Structure 1
Amino acid sequence: MAIMYIERVKSRQGGKVYTQILLRESYRERGENGSKVKKRTLLNLTKYPEAVIQAIVLALKHKDNPQELEHLLGSSVKQKQGRSVGAVWVLLHLCRKLGLDAIVGTSRNGLLCLWMIMARLIEQGSRLSAVRLAEEHAVGELLGVDSFTEDDLYQALDWLCEQQDAMEQKLFRHTFGDHAPTLFLYDVTSSYLEGDHNELGDWGYNRDKKRGKKQIVIGLLCSDDGTPVSVRVFQGNTTGLKTFGAQIETTARHFGCQRVTMVGDRGMIKSAQVEELQSAGFHYITAITKPQIRAMLNSGVLQLGLFDRDLCEIEQHGVRYILRRNPIRAAELAASREQRIRAVQVLAREQNRYLAEHPRADEAIAIRKVWEKEARLGVDECIKATCTNRTITVQVNEAYLAEVEELDGCYAIKTDLPAEAASMKTVHDRYKDLIQVEQAFRTCKTGHLEVRPIYVRKESRTRGHVFVVMLAYLVRQKLAAAWRDLDLTVEEGLKKLTSLCAMEQEIDGQQTGGVLSVPKPRPSLAALFSALAITPPSALPRSHGHVASRKKLPTRRKEK
């Protein structure tokens, strides 16, 4: 008589243990020497949902009593929603494609850093919020990390800071292999702080125009296609020029690049930085300022008519200058300047009316308001406001205005690359590629990834936090490219994926087996998986790890 049963078979391959779930049949085979009990495999159930497996177990157990089986299936088998699976599953597969899982490693700290990268993409916040997020997502099931708190994540940031140089080198080799780029884009930004206790926080030139707040300075190095390869965090009082040498060293020593061209904006590469590049054997592409253009016009090196061509090039002392006027930008600047001048004139008329209606009003206060408006709008050199006999007059400096308008939309790109190495158009296009670094900064600072607010104080954790954001941006680039043709943003896509949850089965109030089933995604979710060429899961191993935040909100809330 044949007997069917479920058997779980474990095997070890390459240091990993694999479990197969098999539907088998035992039977007796008779021969010349008597009979032997043998078994054969009828079906491999490993990839089947746990609910199906448990249903088969029940059917085999009660095969001789169908009425009891029907009663059990109708009343005792229940399903309940488990943790979210979709977003973590997709992000884990993308991290593997980028090689991030191998770069951070399989240590506990490495797995926690991998989760912080994913958490930054799913829902931005502090380490405490990342722990609370892990309570709702299948982190233990997919990453295999056991219980952790926010303190573990802080320690992981310390570890990540120590490993950053080595990780950036591994990431560089994995991304480019033997075809390392020869052109890099570099820019800096600042991020203001809400508190006073960050070890890198200091007063400096605040690019966010936030007065009275300390800041940190962030330098981002990208390849020519806009892929971030290195990020550095500096003291808040560090100028952009002083950060440049660190990136030259990173490119030359860490990445082993020999023939390199660095691209930076007009405030980034000046004479001292040119000398640094030349001593390293590197080239540069940058731009010169409007006063420098004016000086070259006055000396006769440049002529204003050269800017009106599509692209024009001149050379002086081995340095090439590529000239162009952007007519759209010129029109925008002229319109903006006219609006700002008009705003000052409107304010002057309002103050004149107020002075006329209020004989005791102080004319000094009125003219001061107009002067402050001039300075705030940046037109104090274009116009002059005076007050005589309680009447404010705004005069436009037409000569100065005409001189300024001459260079509206004009820019001059400067490079020491020889013509045979890069054409005029190539130099121009590579400088315009700096917009990719600016886009990365927008996404990382105030867009999707929100590097700020910075909820850490130690230097190592600040550096680790910014490095996590850079790695998350790499993953986001892949998502944006894959979902470009879909009618949603990356943020919307990830939010949709979080709705795909695992299902837990209970029989007689008890959890069943060590596997969670995952329902088939609805069409809108299936399209997200398909665009990424990722197959959604059908089942997951159950995790018994417990994730919980150390700080509890009820104890931190103030009583009313």
Structure 2
Amino acid sequence: MYITTTKSKGKNKVYKSVLLRESYREGTRVKNRTIANLTHCKPNEIKALQLAMRHKNDPDKLEMLLGSHVENRQGRSVGAVWVLNRLAENIGLTKVLGKSNEAMLSLWMVMARLIDQGSRLSAVRLAREHGISELLGLVDFDEDDLYHCLDWLCDNQAEIEKKLFKQTYGEQIPSLFLYDVTSSYLEGQCNELGDWGYNRDKKRGKKQIVIGLLCDEDGIPVSIRVFKGNTLDFHTIGCQIKKVAEEFGCQQVTMVGDRGMIKSSQIQELGEAGFNYITAITKAQIKAMLKKKVIQLGLFDKEICEVEDKGVRYILRRNPIRAEELARSRRERIEKVIQFSRKQNQYLADHPRANQHVAIKKVWELESRLKVIDFLHTTAKDRHITVEEYEDYLAEIAELDGCYVLKTDLAAGVAPKEIVHDRYKDLTQVETAFRTMKTGYLEMRPIYVRKESRTRGHAFVVMLAYRLYLKLKKAWRDFDITVEEGLKQLSTHCAIENVINGEISFLSIPAPRRNIHQLYSALGIVPPTTLPKQMVNVVTRRKLQSRRK
């Protein structure tokens, strides 16, 4: 027997009926019949009957429940971890990581990076508030376990990336990859990969690491690699070529890289692997080609133009909006120097004892800071500073404003000039990934770990978190909400602890609010209704009280 609720539509009203029914078999068919109509019973009477139906095969337990003190209280959050766990299953991450304790801890670090960015210590504290013990079976760990897990991730990264690649693409192997590098500063001086190099973060006095990210044509990361902080950009691409060719088993691949990434030696490496390339050339190379008359200034236009020289195709274009931006910026910087020189002249006039050399030195420093020192000739005579512009040189520079040239060895029949141009522009997806992973939502930096293996493991965790982030962003794109806000809303969906005689008997999950249910539905995920009882035991070794004064 069971209790069911039915609805029927009348002319101007919806009728609701609560029925006590039972199932029976007639030949090979299963049928249902109504035993009693409970519609007019009170709600508490119906709940009592439902409780009796639930425990009809165990009357002793029913008697115990009826004679016990039952209390409901708020349990741990389940919404965010439930969604992230289901997404990890959907992309094959759970299967690739495996079922070991290290795999579950790794999965939790990926989830924690999305829920609340922080250190390994904060991830342990966060575990107390979320139902990871019920979902992942993690019941006893501290921050040291998470640090050891970073070592495990580093040791197994190549195999995990390989399996995840096959899980994602199967037989539909990508034929184009996007690659770019960035740097991230470090806290402290003891990181094994830390070194001085070209610091993109503009952090003075901070060592750094170099990070290379390989993505498919849709901007989905497939591999991340960490290098020493003094590694040059073009020295990082060799290992990515090897990974794509040997580990991923790709053939007839096109690598897309920025102008500082793919140079002559890298082109040779790509050719030896049977790969093609798309890259850009520098302004100095453009000037050299103009001088040799391989290309002419008249070819740069809004429309894409193509020139072929010695078997290499060059795609030319001028972006008028970018040209206007560069010209305006250059003029504003020059005017700022001129205005500053006038102030210095006024100061020299008002202060007869002021030092002329000190005043002009300040102007030179401003020119250097604004990067216009090559455009101006600044002199001082008779306590008056004069700033003159190199007009011919400025006109020569302005000719190439907004101009860029792409370079590829792809045949025109394989990739027309428009396709080559669009594929190079896809590198913006890697730049977006870096912004999200580094300085944006996922906050890879600053990096506090010291060991090489843990630095690589930390970067790998952030990359895996970004893959889940892309899924959430795509599913919630029609909502007026960010991924961070969506996960915070899901974190408010908590379990209910049903306490009988002072002990937790079972966990139940209430139906989510309407806005949270929409977040579940957009992802195609059914909200949980119940969870197994599990007692979490995560304790941090370092206590906040001991660090407070």
- Tell me whether the two structures share a fold, i.e. TM-score over 0.5: yes
CA distance in 1, matches of 2:340, 2:497: 67
**What secondary structure sits across from 1:313 in the alignment?**
strand
Aligned mate of 2:433, from 436, 440, 452: 440
Give how far 1:63 is off. Answer: 8.6
Q: 1:33 maps to which residue?
A: none
| Correspondence 1:529 to 2:505 | no
CA distance in 2, matches of 1:474, 1:53: 44
**What secondary structure sits across from 1:452 in the alignment?**
coil
Task: Confirm or deny: 8 A CA contact 1:188 1:240 kept in the other structure.
Answer: yes
| Correspondence 1:146 to 2:161 | no
Correspondence list, 1:156-555, <5 A: 156-508=149-501, 510-513=502-505, 515-555=506-546
* 1:225-273 residue CA offsets vs partner (Å, 9 max, x unmatched): 1111111000111111111111111111111112111100100011111
Structure 2 unaligned residues grouped into runs of 5+:
3-21, 23-34, 36-46
**What secondary structure sits across from 2:330 in the alignment?**
helix
Task: Confirm or deny: 8 A CA contact 2:175 2:252 kept in the other structure.
Answer: yes
Give how far 1:352 is off. Answer: 1.9
CA distance in 2, matches of 1:493, 1:528: 7
Give how far 1:64 is off. Answer: 9.4
Task: Confirm or deny: 8 A CA contact 1:504 1:511 kept in the other structure.
Answer: no
**What secondary structure sits across from 1:198 in the alignment?**
coil
Residues 311 and 63 of structure 1, relative CA distance in 2, 3 Å threshold: closer
Task: Confirm or deny: 8 A CA contact 1:54 1:512 kept in the other structure.
Answer: no
CA distance in 2, matches of 1:221, 1:335: 35
CA distance in 1, matches of 2:77, 2:63: 39
Q: 1:91 maps to which residue?
A: 84
Identity score, percent? 61
Letter in 1 for 2:503: Q
CA distance in 2, matches of 1:54, 1:315: 83
CA distance in 1, matches of 2:130, 2:243: 37
Letter in 1 for 2:486: G
Residues 175 and 141 of structure 1, relative CA distance in 2, 3 Å threshold: same
Letter in 2 for 1:522: R
Larger mean Cα displacement after TM superposition, 55-64 or 204-213: 55-64
Letter in 2 for 1:96: E
Task: Confirm or deny: 8 A CA contact 1:382 1:397 kept in the other structure.
Answer: yes
Letter in 2 for 1:174: Q
Give how far 1:146 is off. Answer: 2.1
**What secondary structure sits across from 1:203 in the alignment?**
coil
Task: Confirm or deny: 8 A CA contact 1:188 1:219 kept in the other structure.
Answer: yes
Give how far 1:516 is off. Answer: 0.8
Give how far 1:353 is off. Answer: 2.1
Q: 1:11 maps to which residue?
A: none
* 1:356-411 residue CA offsets vs partner (Å, 9 max, x unmatched): 22222222222111111111111111122222222222211111111111001100
Larger mean Cα displacement after TM superposition, 364-373 or 403-412: 364-373
Matched residue pairs, number?
504
CA distance in 2, matches of 1:263, 1:330: 24
* 1:524-551 residue CA offsets vs partner (Å, 9 max, x unmatched): 1111111111111111111123011111
* 1:329-361 residue CA offsets vs partner (Å, 9 max, x unmatched): 111111111111122122212222222222222
- TM-score w.r.t. length of structure 2: 0.88
Q: 2:16 maps to which residue?
A: none
Task: Confirm or deny: 8 A CA contact 2:188 2:448 kept in the other structure.
Answer: no
**What secondary structure sits across from 2:541 in the alignment?**
coil
Letter in 2 for 1:204: G
Structure 1 unaligned residues grouped into runs of 5+:
5-24, 26-41, 43-48
Task: Confirm or deny: 8 A CA contact 1:90 1:529 kept in the other structure.
Answer: yes
**What secondary structure sits across from 2:412 in the alignment?**
coil
Task: Confirm or deny: 8 A CA contact 1:113 1:156 kept in the other structure.
Answer: yes
Give how far 1:56 is off. Answer: 6.0
**What secondary structure sits across from 1:455 in the alignment?**
coil
Letter in 1 for 2:145: D
Aligned mate of 1:126, from 119, 123, 139: 119
Task: Confirm or deny: 8 A CA contact 2:290 2:296 kept in the other structure.
Answer: yes
**What secondary structure sits across from 1:109 in the alignment?**
helix
Task: Confirm or deny: 8 A CA contact 2:225 2:456 kept in the other structure.
Answer: yes
Give how far 1:117 is off. Answer: 0.3
**What secondary structure sits across from 2:450 in the alignment?**
coil
Give how far 1:209 is off. Answer: 1.9
* 1:303-336 residue CA offsets vs partner (Å, 9 max, x unmatched): 1111115011010000000000011111111111
Task: Confirm or deny: 8 A CA contact 1:217 1:238 kept in the other structure.
Answer: yes
**What secondary structure sits across from 2:341 in the alignment?**
helix
CA distance in 1, matches of 2:469, 2:220: 11
Letter in 1 for 2:174: P
Larger mean Cα displacement after TM superposition, 404-413 or 387-396: 387-396
Give how far 1:520 is off. Answer: 1.1
**What secondary structure sits across from 2:206 in the alignment?**
coil
Task: Confirm or deny: 8 A CA contact 2:377 2:390 kept in the other structure.
Answer: yes
* 1:475-517 residue CA offsets vs partner (Å, 9 max, x unmatched): 0000000000000111111111111111112234x1242x311
Q: 1:34 maps to which residue?
A: none
Letter in 2 for 1:552: K
Give how far 1:113 is off. Answer: 0.1
Task: Confirm or deny: 8 A CA contact 2:319 2:403 kept in the other structure.
Answer: yes
Task: Confirm or deny: 8 A CA contact 1:214 1:236 kept in the other structure.
Answer: yes
Letter in 2 for 1:553: L
CA distance in 2, matches of 1:131, 1:490: 22
Give how far 1:299 is off. Answer: 1.2
Larger mean Cα displacement after TM superposition, 197-206 or 368-377: 368-377
CA distance in 2, matches of 1:353, 1:399: 30
